[in-house]
Amino acid sequence: MTDHKQRQREAYRAADPAEGPLTTDQGVVVDHTDDSLTAGERGPTLMEDFHFREKLTHFDHERIPERVVHARGAGAYGYFEPYESCAEFTRAAFLQDPSVRTPVFVRFSTVQGPRGSADTVRDVRGFATKFYTSQGNFDLVGNNMPVFFIQDGIKFPDFVHALKPEPHNEIPTGASAHDTLWDFASLQPETTHMMMWLMSDRAIPRSYRMMQGFGVHTFRFVAADGHGTFVKFHWKPKLGVHSLVWDEAQECGGRDPDFNRRDLWDAIEAGEYPEYELGVQLVPEEDEFAFDFDLLDATKLIPEERVPVRPVGRMVLDRNPENFFAETEQVAFHLGNAVPGIDFTNDPLLQARLFSYLDTQLIRLGGPNFAQLPVNRPVVPVRTNQRDGYHQTAIHTGTSYTPNSVGGGCPVIAGADGYAFSHYAERVDGATIRRRSPSFDDHYTQAALFWHSMSDWERRHIVDAFRFELGRVTSVAVRERMAGNLAEVDHDLSAAVAEGIGVPVPPHPGAQPPRTASPALSIANLRGDGSVRTRQVAALVCDGVDAQALTQVREELAAAGAVVEALAAHDGKVTGSDGNGYVVDRALPTVASVLYDAVLLPGGPVGTPKLAGEDAPMRFLRGAYRHGKAIGALGSGVGMVVALGPQGLRVSSEYGSVCSDQGVVTATATGPASEEFTREFLQAIAAHRHWGRPATRC
């Protein structure tokens, strides 16, 4: 355990020791806490009962204001280590020595919904990282999408008000499919690029462990000699980028509203530590104006084909918080938490966030001393002249002003030796105006780049998402305006959406943005290292199951890192074909195919065929098939696949053969599974989804 982790745990335990007798807040030992002090057994409660009053008072004041945005979150601790020194570009200490691990805390979140909303809503996801560096705390506060809705922070209150539930009825919760958001978007063409991302599968990630992160803005690296380089930050998950599909995400919201939060927690508890690679896109200062867009425009990205992402280090999350409120809820991120070697640019949205984040923490955490909370506390000494205020825990001595002589001049001002933070010396001059640069005017070229970079199935999902979202909008005028905006991106896209929402197809605008593509934007090209680690596989079993074959495949999948659970119509055990009992992990009524990544049908002489006539197992299998998930069927288990009636899907028919088609792997032999079957099934699971499957008859 690192020193920082140990200090955090000791701080929590000192404040709330777990062992020993129950006491009041003042340390007085309590002998009874089930009944209030009363005048007689049925008399009134007496106000002299200080224990009763203390408990109720504390309870009544337990809640703090939740975040206005990013209220629903999950967090984890870990560490970051660089691959090599980045001294050529930055003097940030945590990017210098590969042998030094910098502790981190990461918080993932949704944007729109309150703390009690579901994890799997269509929304942007926050990806905020606090680095506890040797130079002080650095907060990289980003999202799982590289661009944002607006260009100037003065619009942020308007955007969030439009995104949030409508004021008259507080509906919808955790959703973007309503009039006010789309009214705003249709009147603000600068939102178009981000709306394309929001309608894509990026907005419904399979897991926080399988989700990219981006710093969104263009920041600045500053080297020891004062030289600056523009930089964009990228987090890339080792397991690849994978998403849910929309109706699957909706069912997850009912089956397990904590789907992503639980997934992160369970993986860390199991020792399957999430890992991400930090990469940077570096742009020399002299190339600031070399692009056909403005680097300061937060609605734009730099195509990786133009500026490749350079890997600089990796982050591993290896510890869950011990108390959600104390850590995940009270962690305070702020873009202004910068360290020497990292500085800002004049991005107008970034400048607004530099004000807003600090301002938000003051109201949420009750004053300016939130940096003293253990989860926010730097690992380096803190010496300031700040004093007093709500929740002050430090006992200050000495002077509280600079300069001073009576205190020996302490704390001293650091010299100009490169150790202290110094802002990048950038010349800025001009008239005081309220006018955006014309270089921010192009709102459609990058939206078209995103659209043309998608695979066929990703485009289908985007069209379906627009149809669903705009189909929930009651204003026909808003629908028509939005269809008109999409026509500026791609007329075929606009026509497909317009037909689905019942408005006229907008006229062709004439000129269209270039039909260029960036393969790095497509999830289809971001499958990671091909691992199946932590993938959830459901094995459907019943009496008569071939327990030997199931055990063999289960062990082989587990050896590759997958998690296999046996599901049956009831808890307890089923009787295998060998007469022995086989333990059931979960009952089918408590789960659904949306909670798993693949399905295994192990078969058996009198086993799996019986399932084909039962509604619950077939409904489970149909869902997995429809959502493109890997399916493996052994022996008589192939009968369930045949019962689905997929027209044209090839299945194994010759005894002993293995057939793999569209992620459905079948083998008709009884007894132990072949190496070929296991290999093909693992490859099908690693691919995550298999689109283009033939339709089923049921």
Here the tokens at position 356 are: 């807003």
Here the tokens at position 619 are: 């409904």
Number of H helices, E strands in the chain: 16, 19
Q: In what order do the strands lie in the sheet with 598-601?
A: 586-587, 563-568, 536-540, 598-601, 630-634, 664-667, 658-661
For 305, other C-beta atoms within 10 Å of its C-beta total: 11
Alpha carbon 104 to its chain centroid, in Å, reads 16
Where do the H-state alpha helices sit in 440-561? 445-453, 456-471, 476-489, 491-501, 547-559
Contact (Cβ atoms closer than 8 angstroms) between residue 343 and residue 424: yes
Cis peptide bond upstream of 103, omega within 30: no
CA 145 vs CA 301, 354, 403, 521, 609: distances in Å: 10, 20, 46, 10, 45
Question: Going along 569-654, which residue ranges are E strands?
Answer: 572-575, 581-584, 586-587, 598-601, 630-634
Contact (Cβ atoms closer than 8 angstroms) between residue 69 and residue 61: no
For 368, other C-beta atoms within 10 Å of its C-beta total: 16
Contact (Cβ atoms closer than 8 angstroms) between residue 685 and residue 631: no
Tell me the C-alpha distance between 677 and 632, whole Å.
Answer: 8
Active site residues: 70, 143
For 615, other C-beta atoms within 10 Å of its C-beta total: 7
Tell me the C-alpha distance between 566 and 541, whole Å.
Answer: 6
Our CA dihedral for 146, 150, 154, 155, rounded to 10 degrees, sits at -130
Tell me the C-alpha distance between 57 and 48, whole Å.
Answer: 14
